[in-house]
Chains A and B, each alone.
Chain A
Amino acid sequence: MSATIALGRQESAARLRRQAWVERLRLALRTPSLLIGVGVLLFWVILAIFAQNIAPHDPLAPDILHKLQPPSADHRFGTDGLGRDVLSRVIYGSRGILVAAPLATLLGTVVGTAIGLIAGYFRGLVEDVLMRITDAFLALPTIVTALLVLASVGGSTTTVILVIGLGFAPIIARTVRAAVLSEAQLEYVEAARLRRERAPYVMFVEILPNVMGPVLVEFTVRLGYAVFAIATLSFLGLGIPPPSPDWGLTISEQYTYLISNFWWPVLFPALAIASLVIAVNMFADGLSRVLER
């Protein structure tokens, strides 16, 4: 008997949750920043998938005698310092970053959130040990950590993902812990504790959904920063090696032409990076608005 009631309660809870999601979806469709963000993201994903069909030229084929040609009908974005088609390189360049940046951010968020939750929930010795180790890593800026690691193991997509991802974890852990600290004082957590719920349940089922706001804000800001950090590492000659059309690398190879007023090989990949980060942030901004309700 009581089992049936419990089942019925579960069913209605599931229905309520489903309704809430439908409501959120409706809200999402009325949030312009979310729609624009998703639109731009989709645009880049489609370009990345269909690069070979869309790009007018081979992104790696040099034509040194036609270097630094301004934008024209044949080369819509002009040619770079080796005479390669800038448009084609921008299109192909989306591939690396659309894989590396989300993976690195995901890695950082998962590791960081776990550390932050555990530290914020358990407090005491566990918190002290975790936060001291986190602080020790946090005391090293991502770029410095990356300098050390990449100088010893060399740049590749995998090492860049690992370095950026793990470099983000302490920052995310700290933010999550701060959020958990204020949640942990609240009644529902106390209630769960009094119900003698197991710690992982309280952390991941009770607290986690309530700190998803900061986690999401952090995730999205970090995603934007991942694009930025990967570009910076390439710029310093520590990331993905040439001849990859990676945007950050392209800027590092071509930016010196700016001082001679050849702006097109740099401007377009820079705009691509900016558009991607802004899209990611608008998407997340809209998402958090929708989830807040």
Chain B
Amino acid sequence: MERDAQRRLDAIRAGRSELENAGIDELLAGRVSRRQFLRWGTVVGMSLPTLAIILEACGNTTNTPSGGNIKKGGRLNIGHQTPTGAMDPILTNDLGRLTILGQCGEYLSFSDKDLKLRPVLATSWSPNADGSVWTFKIRQGVKYNDGTTPMTVDDVVATFNRLADPSLKGNNALSNFAGVLSKGNVTKVDSQTVKFQLDAPNGNFPYLVSSDNYNAIILPANYTGNWDQTFIGTGPFKLKKYTVNDSVSLDKNPTYWDQSNQPYLDGLDFKFYDKEPAAILAFQAGSLDVYTQFSVSNGQGLLTDPNTTVIDIPTSAHRQIHLRTDQGPLTDKRVRQAIALSIDRNAIITGLWNGKAQIANDHPIFKMYPSSDTSVAQRAQDVTKAKDLMSQAGKSAGFKVTLYTEQVQEIPALAQLLQAAAKAIGVDITLNITDSGTYYDKYWLDSPLGITDYGHRGVPNTFLQAPLLSTGTWNAAHFSNPTYDGLFKDYVKAIDLSAQKAVTGKIEQLLLDETPLIIPYNYDFLTAVKKKVAGVETTGMGHVNFRLAGITS
């Protein structure tokens, strides 16, 4: 390390908290990668310039994204999944709505495709020593897109106390805040500062107030509903016309606060599509400039189209194959391991996903998370070992089991691949594939074997909690393991990266051994954009940021 760089690093370290210095030690010791350090650093509130200096001092460099030669003006025609309910930040629980929300509304911070947090309505944030109190500095001089109302600290306080309110009808943010943040524990410190007093220490809290918690758009303190009439928010666009179940047109917000990053476009015209092929055909025929999310199976043609740019980012969205642990033919963990060993993940990723998915290891702490312990060995196909396990479990003669799942995207295909793989070790799977509603109503939590779709999360907390804790509400595997429950508690309160990794390693090992879930892959978020369009930024959560997008000259 050069002396000059060392001196700058020392200067920074002197000003940082103990927590932050521990992270720097991890980086210096080579226990965390550059990417992991960057993500973690943004969570605990270190600014990007600071992080860049540290990385440079440690022999790393960051690269900043380059903008194209985008011209001012114009509108984009955007194909988008139909919203499935009322357009309201509090009720939103689908991609159809959250992408639209993000055009007009903003969050304290923006969780980008690398899971780094970028300050937006908060300028900085920091935890106390144990991570139970988080303090956020709020940006000043921001106006809502009605052109007059200023955004204040009171709005931030009101927004989060509202989202932490269990009595609020249809409040979708509760799944994020339950056991983390209680109503009334968000308080104003001064006209620029907000304090979050958490129910328990939480090292990942900033994600829960970032764009990853898509309900957490900052709204006026006196907000009472009817968002679909106003589309109120501090974002770069404002409502022009909204036709339920059909389309929404947005205009540029002329009073957008970020003077140096004003939108290039005059507006956005979203057209809703119920079925993907219709949208892809419209995109191919030139009626659409952008199609926000497409699947590999329907969009094979887009992947190779010379007139299309495919924005491809990995996400933590995945499929969980649950194996019921408390009754039925899968109670013996050797049988569950055998089924997990029967599948060829690489073939599935290459064949089913054209490589647009990442191999996963039957636990939800995907490699993209900074806290992932990548030293845990990847499970690979091993039919011989699987057959051995079957005979050890006394099931060498095989057995019959029914797999329940939903008709959603590639899931029926995955079910058929699993069926074929399990047949090779004597497990005879009958498929029962229904529509989503029927699956969730009738089968999900009561099936011996099933496949469920899980969307992206910026941190693995939800994945580790609801489907796996003995008290978890989505625990379809009926997995009940006191050791696991204890490890999960340890994980949540760990802020220090190495402490997190020590726990995640144990969790990953335990889940591999018990195999309540088979998670073969987490898949990429694919956006199709015409070549003439540049500057579109997407995230794993499904935010599609058009603030700096435009048409190239």
Contacts and interface: CB of A to CB of B under 8 A. Distances in A.
B438 A154 contact: yes
18 contacts: A62-B420, A64-B347, A64-B348, A64-B350, A64-B417, A65-B350, A67-B351, A82-B417, A241-B407, A241-B434, A242-B412, A242-B431, A255-B277, A256-B277, A256-B298, A257-B297, A259-B281, A259-B298
A45 interface: no
Give the interface residue-count category, chain B.
20 to 34
A82 B284 contact: no
Interface in B276-290: 276-277, 280-281, 284
Interface residues of A, number: 24
Contacts of B432: 241
Interface residues of A: mostly helix, strand, loop or mixed?
Answer: loop
A82 B416 contact: yes
A243 B407 CA distance: 12
Nearest to B281: A259
Most chain B Cβ neighbours within 10 Å, of A68, A237, A241, A260? A260
Given A154-B438, A237-B435, A261-B301, A81 B413 contact: yes
A206 interface: no
Contacts of B280: 256, 259
B301 A259 contact: yes
Interface string A24-51: 0000000000000000000000000000
A140 interface: no
B182 interface: no
A64 B438 contact: no
Contact of B420 (A61, A81, A253, A257): A61
A84 to B, nearest CB: 9
B419 interface: yes
B396 to A, nearest CB: 23
A260 B348 contact: no
Contacts of B276: 256
A243 B419 contact: yes
Contact of B431 (A151, A243, A255): A243
Contact of B413 (A82, A241, A262): A82
Contact of B352 (A64, A151, A260): A64
Contacts of B416: 60, 62, 82, 242-243
A214 interface: no
Given A154-B438, A243-B431, A256 B417 contact: no
A255 B278 CA distance: 12
Contact of A81 (B281, B284, B297, B407): B297
Given A82-B416, A260-B300, 12 more contacts: A64-B417, A65-B350, A65-B351, A68-B300, A83-B351, A237-B407, A255-B277, A256-B276, A256-B280, A256-B297, A256-B298, A257-B300
Contacts of A65: 347, 350-351
B66 to A, nearest CB: 32
Interface in B248-282: 276-277, 280-281
Interface in B328-352: 347-348, 350-352
Interface string B205-235: 0000000000000000000000000000000
Nearest to A255: B277
A171 to B, nearest CB: 28
A224 B297 CA distance: 31
Most chain B Cβ neighbours within 10 Å, of A151, A243, A259, A261? A259
A259 B277 contact: yes
Contacts of A61: 420
A81 B301 CA distance: 13
Nearest to B346: A65
Nearest to A66: B351
B502 interface: no
Contact of A259 (B284, B420, B431): B284
A276 B81 CA distance: 37
A250 B299 CA distance: 18
A158 B98 CA distance: 41
B433 interface: yes
A60 B418 CA distance: 12
B410 to A, nearest CB: 9
A257 B299 CA distance: 8
